[in-house]
Chain A
Amino acid sequence: GAGVSQSPSNKVTEKGKDVELRCDPISGHTALYWYRQSLGQGLEFLIYFQGNSAPDKSGLPSDRFSAERTGGSVSTLTIQRTQQEDSAVYLCASSGVSRGKETQYFGPGTRLLVL
């Protein structure tokens, strides 16, 4: 079946512009995560959605970052007034139970470059 998809795969923008990154989770997965990975670094947790509960926004680095999840499915991560340090790969993951175990499935990521 289809996995987690993200769009666009690559995005180049100018400093100060807003960008929107999209994530389509696996159908039926109630949990959705956004992470950021800077060059050569580990994953940085950004935000977590679980069903209809209020999202865990504790990882968002500044108020320029926001995310929403409409209808419990597709999620959009928005970065306003982008800065060069926002350049990274943004990964989305959704999770569900497989063989009795909660498993996280990652999308291919969106590579963001802020010039």
Chain B
Amino acid sequence: AQSVTQLDSHVSVSEGTPVLLRCNYSSSYSPSLFWYVQHPNKGLQLLLKYTSAATLVKGINGFEAEFKKSETSFHLTKPSAHMSDAAEYFCVVNTGGFKTIFGAGTRLFVKA
């Protein structure tokens, strides 16, 4: 069975400090993995995606994620948080074709 687990429902960081949003997946196939961000009153926006090329994926707004097959993880990181990063982040697995599984989401709070 395929599944996605976002390990933290809420993460709070200070502006200028690193961000780590954790995601573990379970898939019988080689998955495509995505991170999306959703700001209040906005639709989902694709941050980055992994599709079996380089294991370290760089996305928009300074975010990146590393695919670790041995750990079945795809954690999202950013070296320095900005106030505008405060949003909900979703880790998503596409297990082939049109089947997409969403994580429960992690709310990121950024303190001044």
In whole Å, how far is B11's beta carbon from the nearest beta carbon of chain A?
14
A109 close to chain B: CB less than 8 A: yes
Closest to B51 in A: A40
A48 close to chain B: CB less than 8 A: yes
- B98 near A37 with CB under 8 A, answer yes
Stretch in A21-29, A69-77, A98-106 touching the partner: A98-106
Which residues of chain A from 18 to 48 have any CB-CB distance to chain B below 8 Å in the complex?
31, 33, 35, 37, 39-48
In whole Å, how far is A32's beta carbon from the nearest beta carbon of chain B?
10
Contacts A37-B100, A104-B38 given: A42-B107 contact, CB under 8 Å? Answer: no
Q: Count residues of A near B (Cβ-Cβ below 8 Å).
A: 25
Stretch in B17-25, B77-85, B89-97 touching the partner: B89-97
B46 close to chain A: CB less than 8 A: yes
A83 close to chain B: CB less than 8 A: no
A50 close to chain B: CB less than 8 A: yes
- A42 near B94 with CB under 8 A, answer yes
Instruction: Out of B41, B96, B107, name the residue touching A40 (CB < 8 Å).
Output: B96
13 residue pairs A–B, Cβ–Cβ below 8 Å: A33-B44, A37-B98, A40-B51, A42-B36, A42-B94, A43-B46, A45-B44, A47-B43, A56-B42, A59-B43, A89-B98, A101-B107, A111-B98
